[in-house]
Structure 1
Amino acid sequence: MTNSKRPVLVFGATGRQGGSVAKALLRNGWPVRAIVLNSADDASLELQNAGVELVEGSFEDADVIRSATKDVHGVFSVLPATLAAEDEVRYGVLIADIATEAGVDHFVYSSGASVGDEPTGVPRFDAKSRIEAHVRELSITATIIRPMIFMEMLVRPGFGLDEGRLVSLIRPEHSIQLTAVEDIGKFVAAVLADKARFGGVTLKIASDRVTGHDLEAAFTEATGRPITYERFSDDVLAANADLAHMAKSLEGGPLAERVDFDAMREINPELLSFRSWLAGSGRRALAEALGTSSIPG
């Protein structure tokens, strides 16, 4: 399965993407090391109990990162969405540089599907493009993944589900490609297991493609109650640069680029459809978005 029993260093392991990667790597027989802010909090202890080696530190601790990177096979780098754009670039560059200095065999950077050939004008999207460009200049075998919009985004409170509707980015007849966060870990585990195939590759990943009408039907089925679908109004999009860019990109930009789902399933045979995700790991978040403790069925 793997050619090395040296660990993989995972950033963000107490979060969604990093947690998914840590879990998938452990399942595939990789030793996992993770840098955490507080090794005594519940999320960190859960990692430790699962067999993850914890290193306490932050993105500001370059010496800690250097020490944690020593003798690892691979590094998975993902930055929190809460960072300011300049901080994201600074930390992303630092992690990649340290991995290169340490002679890491395979570096995986999680970017974003909104990244394209042209600047977006949205700082947090363009930060990822700048990190990508820096990684490509380094003398390290690297893979860049660009996950499509997370399924989790559609079940966040405030998108209307508690009112019997879903408000999102696409027109009802148009399609959106979605990624289940747990699938990200499976993709990264496959990437790290095959350096020859994935080294130097930029891989856009998704789990499913659905229309607004499909979303309406899937939510209605999952909740057992009528859920209607509508797109954000032009006024809402005009007031939010991030949402406006994503909506535009879904119609004719990087987010509209078609992912090859046969290729996705070949890399990750356990690829989740949106319906299966709603019925499984997305069920709790769906209940919270509906404002209920559970969903019948």
Structure 2
Amino acid sequence: MTKLLVIVGITGNQGGSVADAFLSPPPSTQWRIRAITRDPSKPSTQAWAARGVELVQADLDDIPSLTSAFTGAHAIFAMTDYWGPLFDPAVQAAALARGVIPQTHCAELETQRGTNLARAAASPVVQATLERYVYSSLGDASRLSGGKYTKV
């Protein structure tokens, strides 16, 4: 039986390297890959489709879309991104509208998105087949180092 690996962030360094490990010659015959993307029509995403990756539209802010994308998965590689949203003008505007600095808003956004990923993976329909869940993120270096590293 071919198992299903769902990858969040396939167009980035982490998700892309996970996909490459399964697609590099000789490609795995035990696994097929599904990539979650906000926009399946983007050229960077289409490049993965050309390599045999199934593309599914989902949004890290929408738990039902994640649950649907995770359904049938035997393994999930999930990740969140603090830095990408930090430089998004819409995210910066949302932070200012809330009266917080963009860094605070992005940290909260990353936490919420990580929670959304975990909640979707924990749903009964996903749990019916899920064997492994790998979550990748960066911790708050300043807080974890007691303030020693503040510019990480």
Same fold (TM over 0.5): yes
Take 1:241 and 1:114, find their aligned partners in 2: how far apart are those partners?
9
Q: When the two structures are superposed, what TM-score results if normalisation uses the length of structure 1?
A: 0.38
**CA offset at residue 121 of structure 1?**
6.1
- Tell me which structure has the larger Cα radius of gyration: 1
Counterpart secondary structure, 1:7: strand
Contact 2:34–2:54 (CA<8 Å) still a contact in 1? yes
Q: 1 or 2 for the larger relative contact order (CA 8 Å, sep ≥6)?
A: 2
* CA positional deviation for 1:114: 7.1
User: 1:217-228 alignment to 2 at 5 Å?
Assistant: none
Structure 1 segments, 4+ long, off by >6 Å, are none
Q: Deviation digits for residues 91-113 of structure 1, max 9, x if unmatched?
A: 11111121122212100111348
CA RMSD in angstroms, aligned pairs only: 2.5
1:165-204 residue CA offsets vs partner (Å, 9 max, x unmatched): xxxxxxxxxxxxxxxxxxxxxxxxxxxxxxxxxxxxxxxx
1:12 to 6, 9, 14: 9
Amino acid at match of 1:52: V
Q: Quote the offset at 1:37 in angstroms.
A: 1.6
Aligned to 2:144: 119
- Corresponding position: 1:25 with 2:51: no
Identity %: 30
The size of the alignment, in residue pairs, is 122
Measure how far apart 1:26 and its partner are: 2.5
CA–CA separation in structure 2 for the residues paired with 1:32 and 1:121: 40
1:43-77 superposed Cα distances (whole Å, 9 cap, x missing partner): 11101001110011221222111111111101101
| Structure-to-structure mapping, 1:202-217, within 5 angstroms | none
1:63 aligns to 2:64 (yes or no): yes
The residue matched to 1:50 in structure 2 has which SS?
coil
State the TM-score, normalized to the length of structure 2.
0.70
1:41 maps to what in 2? 42
Q: Which stretches in structure 2 are left out of the alignment for 5+ residues?
A: 86-105
* 5+ long unaligned stretches in structure 1: 123-237, 244-297
One-letter code of the match for 1:109? Y
Provide the rounded CA distance (Å) in 2 between the counterparts of 1:86 and 1:121. 20
